[in-house]
Structures are given as C-alpha cells and as structure tokens.
Amino acid sequence: MNRELIERYAAGADVLGNSIEGLTRADLLAFPVPGTWSIQQIVLHMMDSDLIASDRMKRVASEDHPTLVGYNETAFAKTLAYDQIPAQDACEVFRLDRRITAELLRRLPDAAFKRTGLHTERGEESLEHLVTGYTDHLEHHLKFIREKRKLLGKPL
C-alpha cells in the first residue's frame, strides 16, 4: 500500500472550503452552465459523497466483505433541499470527515487496503480502490467549481 495515497486523500480536507471562498449566496446558487449543478449543489454532493465514502471505507476495513449500497446522487440533489443548507457548514462537515477518516486510514495495516466489499452497482471494490476513487472524485468536481467561478467572473 502506497501511504502517499492516504496523504493525498487527507490533503483534500480543506480544498472544498477554499474553493468557495469569496462567493456570495447568489454565486453559490447560480447556474452559469445551464443544465448542470450549481456550485452549492456540488458542495452538498461532495459532503454527502464523502460521508458515504467514509462509511464504506470503514465497513470494508472492519467487516467481512460488506455490501456497499449505491445511491442516486441526482435524487439527493433534487429532493434534499441542497439550496437551503449553508455551503460553509457542508464544507466544514466535509473537512472534519476527511480529517477523521484519514486518521483512521493511517492507523490501518497495509493488508487492510486489500480487503474488499461488494458494491451493488460496480461490483468488487478494495479499500485501496475506494480511497483512490474518492481522492480523485474531489478533483473531478473541483474542475467544475473552477469553471463556474470563472464564468461568474470570480476565478480562484
């Protein structure tokens, strides 16, 4: 197991909050790219996704081949009042969850990262694969935040 992966995951803790600095509520709720999520929706999606990720990683690390249930991120964004939750609070939840999960990951033996769970949509997933995927997931969505900020005239 490459322990640098855990540090890359951990390094993302503050990045989401930093990505929305200087934005107004109107900026967060704007749709500069019609038909896509607002920055607000991306932030809440990242919070939810990381909470689900930490649950999945902890279960793979500690349970015998757990089932990892998929979820409908579009339904979450559509029905869970993402526009009503303060984005800064979501960033703080994301930050703390990343920090705590990273600390738990650091304390696991290398062999734990080969443990697997069965995702209901994607099949077999190892702990190492989950950490990699969620590390990359943040960067994937940060690209969209940067693009939307640029279109709003507020680049990072």
Report pLDDT for 38.
Answer: 97
- Domains (ranges, CATH) in the chain? 4-31+38-151 (1.20.120.450)
- 3-class DSSP string for 65-133: CCEECCCCHHHHHHHCCHHHCCHHHHHHHHHHHHHHHHHHHHCCCHHHHHCEEEECCCEEEEHHHHHHH
Q: How far apart are CA 17 and CA 70, in angstroms?
A: 26
**Model pLDDT for residues 18-45, shown as the tens digit of each residue:** 999 999 999 999 999 999 999 999 999 9
Place of tokens 């249930």: 69
Mean pLDDT rounded to a whole number for the chain? 97
**Model pLDDT for residues 51-109, shown as the tens digit of each residue:** 999 999 999 999 999 999 999 999 999 999 999 999 999 999 999 999 999 999 999 99
Mean pLDDT of 122-147: 97
1 pLDDT band, cuts 50/70/90, is confident
Structure pTM? Answer: 0.95
145: pLDDT strictly greater than 90: yes
Find the radius of gyration of the CA atoms of the chain: 16
Report pLDDT for 156.
Answer: 86
Report pLDDT for 80.
Answer: 95
